[in-house]
Amino acid sequence: MKKLNSLAQSNFEALKKNLYPGRGIIVGMDKSGKYLVQIYWIMGRSENSRNRVFVIRPGGVLKTAAADPAKVKDPSLIIYTAMDQEGGIYSVSNGDQTVDALGVDGLHKSLKYWSYEPDNPNFTPRITAMMWPYQYRDYVEMMILKKSAFNNFCNKQHYTLSLFPGFGYCMTTYSGDGNPLPPFSGDPYLVPLENNDIDVVSQQFWDALNEDNRVSLAVKFIDIKTEKFSMAIKNKYSMVE
């Protein structure tokens, strides 16, 4: 366990140094083993990407919304449901695939017809995770849909990962800043989830994101026994009234 703690902390420090990991998902379990945890954040470089906030809708649904609707240039890839739940399945993703990810057959089948985002030249990967707190509390599914380096083919990498207290798995859209942005590479990596206070966790990961580029962050805690949940969000910008 000591080696895992060291690895998770090292990965967390690397995340803090990354100027632009883009959008990110973390899924895991708090140290007490009482809660499953979902974290999602968005970052932005352009005015269109930064013009967003997170809003919580009834039923624990997390959506992106325009901070200033008058400044929206293209809503197609920036306004979507980021967290959703149905029938004991909890999904989180960086786009419109969030609802489809609630399929009972798992991500491999649910996202069969999805591909990476058509935002040339970045071709942003789609990243998704799903959890079953009540029935399958010991593992999580994650998936990344990424453009091939050789042609327009969509490489699909699917993961079934074991969950254990105090750790989460992180996957981001990019590996760092650049033009075009370099896509995420490698497997989902461990990060620490040591606290069972949702406000502490949200502040910890908000502080880890580059201050100039971070836009919004959300954390959901799901009680494994009761499936009652709590949510916390942080928005850099405020909605225009």
User: What secondary structure, in 3-state letters, does 49-96 show?
Assistant: HHCEEEEEECCCEEEEEECCHHHCCCCCCCCCEEEEEECCEEEEECCH
Please state, in angstroms and rounded to a whole number, the distance separating the CA atoms of residues 87 and 48: 34
Residues 6+ apart with CB under 8 A from 143: 107, 108, 111, 127, 128, 129, 156, 157, 158, 159
Query: What's the whole-number mean pLDDT along residues 16-21?
Result: 98
* 24 has pLDDT over 80: yes
Query: Taking each helix axis from N to C terminus, what angle separates 2-17 and 198-208, rounded to the nearest 10 degrees?
Result: 50
CATH no., domain 2-235: 3.60.20.20
Please state, in angstroms and rounded to a whole number, the distance separating the CA atoms of residues 86 and 132: 10
Closest by CA to 127, choosing from 8, 22, 12, 47, is: 22
Please state, in angstroms and rounded to a whole number, the distance separating the CA atoms of residues 214 and 235: 9
* 136 has pLDDT over 70: no
pLDDT tens, 161-188?
999 999 999 999 999 999 999 999 999 9
**Whole-number pLDDT of residue 73:** 85
Instruction: Determine the 3-state secondary structure of 198 from DSSP.
Output: helix
Instruction: Determine the 3-state secondary structure of 39 from DSSP.
Output: strand
pLDDT tens, 50-67?
999 999 999 999 999 999
**Whole-number pLDDT of residue 74:** 84
**Whole-number pLDDT of residue 218:** 98
* 119 has pLDDT over 90: yes
**Whole-number pLDDT of residue 2:** 81
Q: Taking a C-beta distance cutoff of 8 angstroms, is the pair 174, 184 a contact?
A: yes
Closest by CA to 57, choosing from 47, 65, 68, 48, is: 65
Output helix, strand, coil percentages for the chain, rounded to the nearest 5.
Answer: 20, 40, 40
**Whole-number pLDDT of residue 148:** 97
* 127 has pLDDT over 70: yes
Instruction: Determine the 3-state secondary structure of 108 from DSSP.
Output: helix
* 241 has pLDDT over 80: no
Query: What's the whole-number mean pLDDT along residues 128-140?
Result: 85
Instruction: Using a pLDDT cut of 90, give the percent of the chain over it.
Output: 86
**Whole-number pLDDT of residue 3:** 87
